[in-house]
Amino acid sequence: EAGVAQSPRYKIIEKRQSVAFWCNPISGHATLYWYQQILGQGPKLLIQFQNNGVVDDSQLPKDRFSAERLKGVDSTLKIQPAKLEDSAVYLCASSLDPGLAGQYFGPGTRLLVL
C-alpha cells in the first residue's frame, strides 16, 4: 500500500514570504495530522482533521498558519508570512481513525527560512 505522500521535500524561502505544503494521506484514512518538528525536538501537533473537519488546531499559530482538507482527502498547510523560527520539518500523518490505530507519517518537508 502506498504511504503518505508529501511535497515538496525541501523548500528555502526568505522571511515574510509565503509557502505551502501538500499532503496526500493513505487511501481510506479519515484522520489527517500536520506536525512541526524543530531540530533536536520531537514532532509537535499543529492540526488534526477528521475527514474535512478540524478536530484540534489548538497549537496552530493562526495568525500566520492555515490548513485545509477539501473533500476529506488531500491537505495543504500554508505559512504566510514566514518567520525565521518557522524553519523546521513539517510532517503529515494519517490514520484509519482517531482511536487506537497508529499514525503513519510521510517523509516530511524541510523548510528553511532565511
From 45, 73, 96, 112, residue interacting with other proteins (rule: CB under 8 A): 45
The pair phi, psi for residue 57, each rounded to 5°, is: -130, 30
Of 13-21, 67-75, 80-88, 101-109, the window that binds other proteins (rule: CB under 8 A) is: 101-109
The pair phi, psi for residue 84, each rounded to 5°, is: -55, -40
**Which residues touch 71 (CB under 8 Å, ≥6 apart)?**
52
Question: What is the nearest approach in angstroms of other proteins to the Cβ of residue 30?
Answer: 11
From 32, 77, 82, 93, residue interacting with other proteins (rule: CB under 8 A): 93
From 22, 78, 107, 112, residue interacting with other proteins (rule: CB under 8 A): 107
